[in-house]
Amino acid sequence: MNEDLSRRNFVVAAGAALAATPAVAANDKIQIGWIGTGARGMHVMNMMYKGVPEGVVVTATCDTYAGNLAKGKDQIQTLGKNTPKTYVDYKELLADKSIDAVFITTPEHLHREMTLAALAAGKHIYVEKPLAHTIEEGAELVQAAKKSGKVVQVGTQNRSNSLYIKAKEMVAKGMIGEVHYVRAFWYRNSLPDNPAWRYNIPKDTDESNTDWKRFLGDAPKRAFDKQRYHQWRLYWDYSGGISTDLLVHQTDITNFVCGKVEPLSCMASGGIYRWTDNDDREVPDTLSAIYEYPDRFHINYSCYFGNVQFGYGEQFMGNEGTIEVLNRQQLKFTTEKFAGKAPAHIAARKDEVVDLPGNDVNAVQGHVRNFIEAIQGKAKLIAPIEVGQQAAVSGHMATLSLRNNKKVLWDTKTQKYRFVS
């Protein structure tokens, strides 16, 4: 058997069996194809080179905007010291049999078709959150991934953040007592002339260097629009807005820390409160969502793009104490004081603050490393596709509730939602 064939067999076996496979030979690199080198793709790739310097080689990259395709190629040359093949059509990249795994870091509405095609082509996949654009699409991906036996990691990197891992251990140890209530929030602000999510549109963007048809994918057909292309988060055809861009991270990590899976119901409210003049944005800049879970558990979620005083975080509010993880870089543990008369077993616990500035960078590196090690059979995946779907379900429920002005109920057994009439 030649070396390439034996390496590929190893990788395939690792995908099917996960942890039990023997370690890969030191010089066996996982061959990577990268799909989407926009803001997130470039960052995650950079983190991959830092986090798994010896384990990977990016042999191909794909993007439908020529400027970002060139940036991706350049970064691979600089950090990987090799020249990748470049593609505008991701299907051509997937046809390369030497590629073991792909990263899908494209807009939300493309995750379904790309993940299905990558599974059909026999690739392992790291797909950014949210898993897909609707609940039904995500369910389809979970089924396809199960059948394929491939390793699929979803980009909810908070699960690889040491502070959330510590929070999970503390909750499991009973440090905050019973936990029935979590507050989660993400606040941002910018000046009136710098509207949220109106990211920079490269000056040269036009139809000659931007494959609009491939960007649209299965989304409704419409004429070329560079705002929609580069600022896709603002439009329902491509994004769930706050629900699937930000909230899913926070319901996901609440599930992780508190051992929860899916909510029973969601009631959301909000709207576009800022940038209402000459702006065709469709997704809200203001969102509150209330979740009920089985076993008497509640998430109170809040997001607003007009005040950043309270930043970003989750507050796990136990009956005997609170764990706050703030801005992904600080953990604060505070015991309940009961007007200064805490029972001795609670008073004995020491309040604590752990500061790890910039810890999200370590989390992304750890998340990618976990993906590569899972392919190699050395680690168990921390955010497998089912978990990515569970996080996405709560995000989509918030969008459904908001857009239909109704409470949404979720049935875990049938994996279906319905509105309260």
Ligand X SMILES: NC(=O)c1ccc[n+]([C@@H]2O[C@H](COP(=O)([O-])OP(=O)(O)OC[C@H]3O[C@@H](n4cnc5c(N)ncnc54)[C@H](O)[C@@H]3O)[C@@H](O)[C@H]2O)c1
Binding site for ligand X (CB under 6 A): 35-41, 62-65, 68, 90, 105-108, 110, 128-129, 155, 157, 214-215, 217, 230, 245
Q: CA–CA separation, 226 vs 243, rounded Å?
A: 23
State which residue, 36 or 55, has the beta carbon closest to ligand X: 36
Q: How many residues does the chain have?
A: 421
State which residue, 104 or 402, has the beta carbon closest to ligand X: 104
State which residue, 186 or 410, has the beta carbon closest to ligand X: 186
CB of 327 to ligand X, least distance (A): 13
- The one-letter code for the residue type at 34 is W
Max CA distance (Å), the chain: 73
CB of 257 to ligand X, least distance (A): 17
Give me the residue whose beta carbon is nearest to ligand X.
38
Name the residue among 182, 222, 228, 174 with its Cα closest to residue 201.
228
CB of 188 to ligand X, least distance (A): 13
CB of 337 to ligand X, least distance (A): 35
Q: What is the DSSP string of 178-229?
A: -EEEEEEEEE----TTS-TT-----TT-STTTB-HHHHHTTSPP----HHHH
Phi, psi of 384 (to 5 degrees): -65, 170
* Cβ atoms of 401 and 289 closer than 8 Å: yes
**Is the preceding omega at residue 202 within 30 degrees of 0, hence cis?**
no
CB of 22 to ligand X, least distance (A): 31
State which residue, 108 or 373, has the beta carbon closest to ligand X: 108
Pairing between β-strand 85-87 and β-strand 56-62 as defined by DSSP bridges? parallel
CB of 105 to ligand X, least distance (A): 5
State which residue, 155 or 321, has the beta carbon closest to ligand X: 155
State which residue, 133 or 378, has the beta carbon closest to ligand X: 133
CB of 309 to ligand X, least distance (A): 22
State which residue, 65 or 293, has the beta carbon closest to ligand X: 65
